[in-house]
């Protein structure tokens, strides 16, 4: 799903969301079901995350965090490990842009998964300003196995029909 910046800003504003809900309710004379509202909120959060360029991934063999830090130079960024946390900090002093003067600062923390050795964590900054912090995951000691499914003769829910 692609949204313009204006549409995304409107989604973030509670007044607009409430106005939208009232409009739908008045126009169609129906209430928005809690499940639909929750799905919409989840979608809004996903859009915000994608727009802000934040993403943490835990894949089978790798842990990674990607952050859009295009407004910062490598000298203005700091990545460190403290205990079981990765801390990413960025700060630049006031400078001029197309709208005037701006100073930026952010700080993010991510918990390091138990199967990641903190000594193997690396970071890199791409040409388009995406900071990637990653580390390999330790292979699991337990071998993969198929678990058989047994069929019970009684229903899990009282009064349920057998299929």
pLDDT score at 48:
45
Q: What are the pLDDT digits (tens) for 115-138?
A: 999 999 999 999 999 999 999 998
The pLDDT tens digits for 69-95 are 999 999 999 999 999 999 999 998 988
Flag whether 157 is in a domain. no
Buried b (16+ CB within 10 A) or exposed e, 125-155: beeeeebebbbebeeeeeeeeeeeeeeeeee
3-state SS of the chain: helix, strand, coil percent to 5?
Answer: 30, 35, 35
> Which residues define the annotated binding site?
92, 94, 99
Overall pTM > 0.85: no
pLDDT, tens digit, for every residue of 5-54? 455 455 454 444 444 444 433 333 444 455 555 555 545 554 444 444 45
Say if residue 47 is in the same domain as residue 79: no
CA distance 96 to 103: 9
- Whether 131 and 81 share a structural domain: yes
Residue ranges making up the domain that contains 37: 5-52
Binding site feature residues for Zn(2+): 92, 94, 99
User: Which domain CATH number covers 130?
Assistant: 2.60.40.790
Whether 158 maps to a domain, the answer reads: no
Whole-number Å distance between alpha carbons of 92 and 76: 6
Strand partners, 107: 89
Structure-token pair, residue 134: 């990653």
Report which of residues 61 and 25 the model is more confident about.
61
Q: Are residues 84 and 132 in the same domain?
A: yes
Q: Does 142 fall in a domain?
A: no
60 and 131 together in one domain:
yes
């Amino acid at each position: 799903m692609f949204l313009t910046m204006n549409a995304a800003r409107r989604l973030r504003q509670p007044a607009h969301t409430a106005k939208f809900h009232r409009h739908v309710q008045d126009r169609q004379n129906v209430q928005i079901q809690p499940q639909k509202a929750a799905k919409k909120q989840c979608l809004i959060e996903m859009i915000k995350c994608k727009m802000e360029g934040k993403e943490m991934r835990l894949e089978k063999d790798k842990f990674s965090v990607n952050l859009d830090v295009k407004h910062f130079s490598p000298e203005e960024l700091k990545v460190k490990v403290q205990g079981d946390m990765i801390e990413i900090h960025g700060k630049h002093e006031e400078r001029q842009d197309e709208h005037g003067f701006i100073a930026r600062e952010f700080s993010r923390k991510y918990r390091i998964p138990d199967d990641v050795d903190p000594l193997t964590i690396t970071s890199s900054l791409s040409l388009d300003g995406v900071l990637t912090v990653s580390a390999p995951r330790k292979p699991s000691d337990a071998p993969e196995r198929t678990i058989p499914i047994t069929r019970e003769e009684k229903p899990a829910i009282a009064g349920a029909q057998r299929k």
